[in-house]
Amino acid sequence: MNQQPFILAIESSCDDTSIAVLKGKRVLSNVVASQLIHEDFGGVVPELASRAHMQNILPVYLKALNVANVQANQLNAIAFTNGPGLMGALLVGVSFAKSLSIALNIPLIDVNHIHAHVLAHLIEEDNHQNPNFPFLCLTVSGGHTQIVKVNAADDFEIIGKTIDDAAGEAFDKIAKLLNLPYPGGPVLDKLAQMGDGSRFTFSDPRNGFLDFSFSGLKTSVLYFLQKEIQKNSNFIHENLNDICASVQKTIVNALINQLIKAANSTKIKAVAIAGGVSANSELRKQLNELNQKGFDVYVPSFQFCTDNAAMIGIVGYFKFLNRNFCNLNILPQAKF
Ligand code: KG4
Ligand code: ZN
């Protein structure tokens, strides 16, 4: 094929129903329907997520084609997230992808959601530089925290990871202790911007050479709050900005510290961030400082940080080039 392929990509692993259309490495549309219903429950309710995906997927598909100004019969392949994620949520996207593949008689491409967060860096945009291989990617989302050495589009080495909670999960769980609404990460970030991050000290989430452990941090914040509330029942309210800033600084310092260690030990100076937590303002600030210390830092556009289908599409594009398709009998995988 001389022309760039049109890939339709589907993401439904958690609480965002998203469909994108790519032409080659360029995104023509990237429609995301976020499920607000989970806010009432303080976390994602799997059964409700599956139902919302069922309701959203057809309108999101039609809008993605419409915005891209592409007809279904122009598509060359269907890429979809087949894991990791919530099984019922994945099933909706996988079944929709299979139906389209049969109806349009075009190949099906299975995509690992975590690889997609990393390869989002290879999406082509105006005025945006893409990293060359090899590069390091700090993937920080609600479900994952990893430092990955990316050797090629299909060659990933995990060199650091969390041994328990993910960084986003830590933000969300600590925000819940502070009675903030779900998802807590962005709210805590906003409050932290008006606080003093050096006021309180919590347990360090670094673990071993390049790993992390965030469950101890959550416990340390919990015990700290319980102790302070005994002395002053208004403690959270009166110190909210400083608590948020101190928690945020503890998490981000650990992330950046391990990333620098990974860069030094691999001698790779190109570092990227991916996943929902890469929207965090303190993380972005500290990464910018790395830029001034001789690192090449790559931060994806905001719309490609949190869960979205364009990142599924870029993996689909590389697999399409290698004719790396899957069969119709493929099953989603909750864990990898
Ligand atoms: O990648 P993502 O959209 O979904 C997956 O988990 O795959 O990441 C969502 C996570 C949530 O935990 C959310 O609280 C966190 O990213 N997050 C943030 C910020 N924006 C989103 N955490 C800290 N600061 C932010 N600004
Ligand atoms: Zn994600």
Q: List pLDDT tens digits, range 24-62.
A: 999 999 999 887 777 777 777 788 888 989 999 999 999
Q: Which residues contact 231 (CB under 8 A, 6 or more apart)?
A: none
Which atom of ligand 1 lies closest to the CA of 307? 3
Quote the number of domains for the chain: 2
Q: Quick check: is 42 in a domain?
A: yes
- Worst-scoring range by mean pLDDT, 10-14, 288-292, 319-323, 332-336? 332-336
Q: Maximum Cα–Cα distance for the chain, whole Å?
A: 71
Q: Quick check: is 330 in a domain?
A: no
Can you tell me which residue has the tokens 């830029």?
291
Tell me which of 18, 165, 171, 193 to substitute to probe ligand 1's pocket, judged by most ligand atoms within 8 Å of the beta carbon.
171
Residue 283's pLDDT band (boundaries 50, 70, 90)?
very high
Residue 331's pLDDT band (boundaries 50, 70, 90)?
very high
Distance 237 CA to ligand 2 centre (A): 31
Q: Choose between 212 and 41: higher pLDDT.
A: 212
At 169, which amino acid appears? Answer: E
Distance 141 CA to ligand 1 centre (A): 5
Q: Quick check: is 332 in a domain?
A: no
For residues 116 and 136, membership in a common domain is answered with no
Q: Quick check: is 329 in a domain?
A: no
Residue 2's pLDDT band (boundaries 50, 70, 90)?
low
Range of the domain at 109: 6-121+305-321
Task: Calculate mean pLDDT across residues 182-192.
Answer: 95
Closest CA to 135 of 162, 156, 112: 156
For residues 262 and 198, membership in a common domain is answered with yes
Q: Quick check: is 223 in a domain?
A: yes
- C-alpha–C-alpha distance, residues 296 and 135, integer Å: 9
Can you give the pTM of this predicted structure?
A: 0.89
- Worst-scoring range by mean pLDDT, 3-12, 40-49, 216-225? 40-49
For residues 171 and 135, membership in a common domain is answered with yes
For residues 138 and 73, membership in a common domain is answered with no
Q: Quick check: is 335 in a domain?
A: no
Tens-digit pLDDT profile for residues 223-253: 999 999 999 999 999 999 999 999 999 999 9
For residues 96 and 245, membership in a common domain is answered with no
Provide, rounded to the nearest whole percent, the portion of the chain with pLDDT above 90: 85
Does 275 have pLDDT greater than 70? yes
For residues 37 and 78, membership in a common domain is answered with yes
For residues 32 and 155, membership in a common domain is answered with no
Contact 22, 6 (CB under 8 A): yes
Q: Quick check: is 334 in a domain?
A: no
For residues 29 and 152, membership in a common domain is answered with no
Q: Which residues line ligand 1 (CB under 6 A)?
A: 14, 141-143, 168, 171-172, 183-186, 189, 275-277, 279-280, 306-307
Q: Look at residue 118 in the predicted model and tell me its pLDDT.
A: 93
Q: Choose between 309 and 302: higher pLDDT.
A: 309
For residues 163 and 202, membership in a common domain is answered with yes
Q: Look at residue 232 in the predicted model and tell me its pLDDT.
A: 97
For residues 147 and 200, membership in a common domain is answered with yes
The chain-wide mean pLDDT, for the chain, equals 94
For residues 253 and 104, membership in a common domain is answered with no
Instruction: Give the CATH number of the domain where residue 159 resides.
Output: 3.30.420.40
Q: Quick check: is 264 in a domain?
A: yes
Distance 20 CA to ligand 2 centre (A): 15
Sheet of 296-298: strand order equals 155-161, 145-152, 135-140, 270-274, 296-298
Tens-digit pLDDT profile for residues 77-126: 999 999 999 999 999 999 999 999 999 999 999 999 999 999 999 999 99
Does 296 have pLDDT greater than 80? yes
Task: Calculate mean pLDDT across residues 162-170.
Answer: 96
For residues 106 and 146, membership in a common domain is answered with no
Q: Which ligand is nearest to the CA of 274?
A: 1
Does 67 have pLDDT greater than 90? yes
Q: Look at residue 1 in the predicted model and tell me its pLDDT.
A: 59
